[in-house]
């Protein structure tokens, strides 16, 4: 693929002023998206669409918490009713009804990895939303009878499949349409919208709990369609990713999209330079080989992939979804609180969770990634220990209040640390050459252990509630030495500097954590010199302004 000269349009493009509209399809019939929205609105609308997608994801994460233990739900799905099935069998089936969604998400993520680039970002998002709506319809049309449970489970899997499409595609599309300086912030917007969607779901569950019929669970599940339809409406009027357009040879259309997103005239040098940056970075990516992902040496690809994947693993096994998915049943069944009070506490908990996610915005760069990892881990561990201590048999009934406080503290610490960091850290730590595949490995890892934790939590709680929270407390403590010895600080570093940290650490036999601490900030000229000295190839190097599939570490 030939590079585009930054002082001239790409071959075949005449110099002309940018027009505010472009065709929705190219000459070969490829769906490109329209650019008929006013220039300055594009960036905002892209963020709104991405936020809508992640709000939908958060909503689906939270909606089952208030429904899975509802008497109205048990009437349609008696297999989940402890009074009929016994507490252990019912807890296993409740876990399965909830966790099977993650298997659909995992399948969607794998599909996106294999075929996403072929279909394009917009088509993947559109298809994912349609699939999600189909899954929701299947769920809410399940009626009492022999096949009700099976139908509901199939609907959950299909809904998860659509969610997997969305969560694997939206961050990439958002980043590829965002300006370089706002890509890091984009991660936190998306994470905050997950918690916002969860909060909305909890309050919806509480409101509909006053209906004494099946509408109390059908309507909250059906409301997901509102988010999906809104997402479809938004992406219909938004452009395809310029990076994807260039990868398919649609240079003119890509240039129009870049001009609209800047905004700038069609043949402005800023637009042409950005087009060249995208083209050059794609040329480097085409040289990636499968074995590059498992190489070490100065590039340390394998280590960096494992670091990113480990952060997603730690996020899940630390117990976040045990609390997010099952907080209402925990309040009701294991803390002995009333049904309505449990729903109210769950809704307030979700609100605190959403607010705590906003705290991370100013902290992520001021405090740094490592410090937030430590704060979150210690906070989560101590919160779990508090819950465990308050649930030890023989305690005064007032100890239940301490357990409630522990649950609130846990989700507060999680909300401003481990909610966002595992999405940001892999994107920063992995080099351009392997970032797409390494990030996909991290995401698949996330869904796999999400399913594992959600599946085993209810039976584990049924066997020993004290042991469950003690287990999660101990697991969190196990994160600390890994973070201390293996997680280098990335805040304030460019992607090129992060590559140099690993290369210098390898060559000089110095801990990568120590190298990140002692290596001074480098200027552009110093980075060039270090790249030559360390023998890092040009194909490893992120082009200035790149990061379309990751995020520049913000100083």
User: Is the confidence at residue 25, as pLDDT, over 50?
Assistant: no
Peptide bond into 263 cis (omega under 30): yes
Range of the domain at 112: 37-242
**Dihedral over alpha carbons 539, 540, 543, 546 (to 10 degrees):** 120
464 vs 378: CA distance, rounded Å: 23
pTM of the model: 0.83
Same domain, 347 and 485: yes
49 vs 447: CA distance, rounded Å: 23
**pLDDT (0 to 100) of residue 274:** 75
Average pLDDT score over residue span 148-158: 95
User: Is the confidence at residue 90, as pLDDT, over 70?
Assistant: yes
Same domain, 197 and 328: no
Comparing 411 with 536, the larger pLDDT belongs to 411
Q: Which of 183, 217, 242 is the last residue of a domain?
A: 242
User: Is the confidence at residue 419, as pLDDT, over 50?
Assistant: yes
| Lowest mean pLDDT across 14-18, 118-122, 342-346 | 14-18
Residue 500 falls within a domain, yes or no? Answer: yes
281 vs 499: CA distance, rounded Å: 16
Instruction: Evaluate the CA torsion angle 187, 188, 189, 194 in order and state its sign.
Output: positive
**pLDDT (0 to 100) of residue 287:** 56
Contact 46, 238 (CB under 8 A): yes
Measured in degrees and rounded to the nearest 5, phi and psi for residue 386 equal -65, -45
Q: Which of 344, 379, 384, 360 is nearest to 195 (CA)?
A: 360
| Lowest mean pLDDT across 133-137, 457-461, 551-555 | 551-555
Q: Which of 207, 242, 277 is the last residue of a domain?
A: 242
Same domain, 215 and 345: no
Residue 260 falls within a domain, yes or no? Answer: no
User: Is the confidence at residue 182, as pLDDT, over 60?
Assistant: yes
Domain count for the chain: 2
For residue range 437-450, list pLDDT tens digits in order.
787 788 888 899 99
**pLDDT (0 to 100) of residue 8:** 42
For residue range 224-244, list pLDDT tens digits in order.
999 999 999 998 888 888 888
Q: Which of 201, 222, 242 is the last residue of a domain?
A: 242
In 3-state terms, what secondary structure has residue 289? coil
Residue 350 falls within a domain, yes or no? Answer: yes
Same domain, 383 and 481: yes
**Band of the pLDDT at 17, cuts 50, 70, 90?**
very low
Same domain, 86 and 203: yes
Residue 152 falls within a domain, yes or no? Answer: yes
Whichever domain contains 217, its CATH number is 1.20.1250.20
| Lowest mean pLDDT across 3-7, 390-394, 418-422, 461-465 | 3-7
Residue 48 falls within a domain, yes or no? Answer: yes
Same domain, 299 and 228: no
> CA angle 531-537-539, nearest 5°?
120
Same domain, 104 and 225: yes
Contact 10, 252 (CB under 8 A): yes
**Band of the pLDDT at 555, cuts 50, 70, 90?**
very low
Percent of the chain with pLDDT over 70: 84
User: Is the confidence at residue 16, as pLDDT, over 60?
Assistant: no
Same domain, 535 and 477: yes
Same domain, 206 and 350: no
270 vs 244: CA distance, rounded Å: 19
Same domain, 169 and 309: no
Q: Any alpha helices (H) in 286-368, and if so which ranges?
A: 301-317, 320-329, 339-366
For residue range 269-320, list pLDDT tens digits in order.
777 877 877 776 666 555 555 566 666 778 888 899 899 999 999 999 999 9
Q: Which of 129, 111, 109 is nearest to 119 (CA)?
A: 111
**pLDDT (0 to 100) of residue 544:** 44
Residue 27 falls within a domain, yes or no? Answer: no
Same domain, 191 and 322: no
Instruction: Evaluate the CA torsion angle 522, 524, 529, 535 in order and state its sign.
Output: positive
| Lowest mean pLDDT across 13-22, 144-153, 189-198 | 13-22
Strand partners, 31: 25
Same domain, 452 and 358: yes
Residue 274 falls within a domain, yes or no? Answer: no
């Amino acid at each position: 693929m030939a590079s585009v000269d930054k002082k001239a349009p790409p071959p075949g493009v005449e110099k002309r002023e940018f027009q505010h509209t472009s065709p929705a399809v190219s000459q070969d019939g490829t769906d490109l998206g329209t650019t008929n929205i006013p220039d300055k609105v594009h960036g905002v609308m892209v963020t709104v669409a991405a936020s809508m997608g992640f709000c939908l994801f958060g909503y689906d994460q939270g909606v089952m918490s208030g429904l899975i233990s509802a008497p109205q739900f048990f009437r349609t799905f008696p297999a989940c009713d402890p009074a009929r099935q016994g507490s252990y069998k019912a807890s296993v089936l409740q876990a399965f009804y909830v966790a099977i969604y993650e298997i659909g998400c995992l399948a969607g993520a794998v599909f996106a990895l294999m075929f996403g680039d072929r279909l394009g970002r917009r088509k993947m998002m559109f298809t994912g939303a349609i699939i999600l709506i189909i899954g929701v319809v299947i769920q809410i049309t399940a009626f009492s009878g022999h096949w009700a449970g099976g139908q509901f489970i199939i609907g959950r899997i299909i809904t998860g499949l659509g969610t997997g499409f969305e969560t694997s595609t939206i961050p990439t599309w958002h980043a590829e349409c965002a300006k370089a300086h706002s890509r890091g912030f984009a991660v936190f917007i998306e994470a905050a919208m997950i918690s916002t969607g969860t909060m909305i779901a909890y309050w919806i569950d509480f409101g509909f709990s006053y209906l004494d019929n099946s509408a109390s669970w059908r309507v909250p599940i059906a409301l997901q369609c509102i988010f999906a339809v809104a997402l479809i409406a938004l992406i219909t009027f938004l452009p395809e990713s310029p990076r994807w357009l260039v990868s398919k040879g649609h240079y003119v259309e890509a240039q129009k999209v870049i001009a609209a997103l800047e905004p700038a005239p069609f043949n402005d040098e800023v637009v042409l330079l950005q087009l060249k940056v995208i083209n050059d970075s794609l040329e480097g990516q085409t040289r990636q080989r499968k074995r590059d992902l498992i190489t070490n040496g100065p590039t340390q690809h394998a280590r960096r992939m494992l670091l990113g994947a480990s952060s997603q693993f730690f996020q899940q096994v630390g117990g976040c979804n045990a609390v997010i998915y099952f907080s209402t049943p925990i309040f009701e069944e294991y803390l002995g609180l009333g049904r309505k009070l449990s729903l109210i506490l769950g809704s307030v908990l979700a609100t605190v969770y959403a607010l705590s996610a906003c705290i991370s915005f100013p902290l992520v760069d001021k405090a740094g990634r490592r410090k937030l990892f430590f704060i979150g881990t210690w906070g989560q561990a101590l919160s779990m220990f508090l819950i465990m201590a308050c649930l030890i048999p023989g305690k005064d009934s007032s100890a239940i209040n301490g357990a409630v406080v522990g649950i609130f503290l846990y989700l507060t610490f999680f909300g401003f640390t481990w909610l966002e960091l595992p999405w940001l850290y892999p994107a920063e730590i992995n080099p351009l050459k392997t970032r797409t595949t390494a990030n996909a490995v991290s995401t698949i890892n996330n869904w796999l252990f999400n399913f594992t934790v959600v599946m085993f939590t209810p039976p584990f709680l049924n066997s020993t509630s004290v042991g469950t929270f003690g287990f999660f407390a101990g697991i969190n403590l196990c994160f600390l030495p890994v973070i201390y010895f293996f997680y280098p600080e990335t805040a304030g570093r460019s992607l090129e500097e992060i590559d140099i940290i690993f290369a210098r650490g390898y060559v000089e036999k110095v801990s990568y954590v120590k190298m990140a601490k002692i290596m001074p900030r480098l200027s552009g000229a110093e980075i060039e010199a270090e790249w030559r000295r360390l023998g890092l190839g040009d194909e490893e190097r992120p082009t200035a302004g790149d990061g379309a599939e990751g995020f520049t570490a913000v100083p």
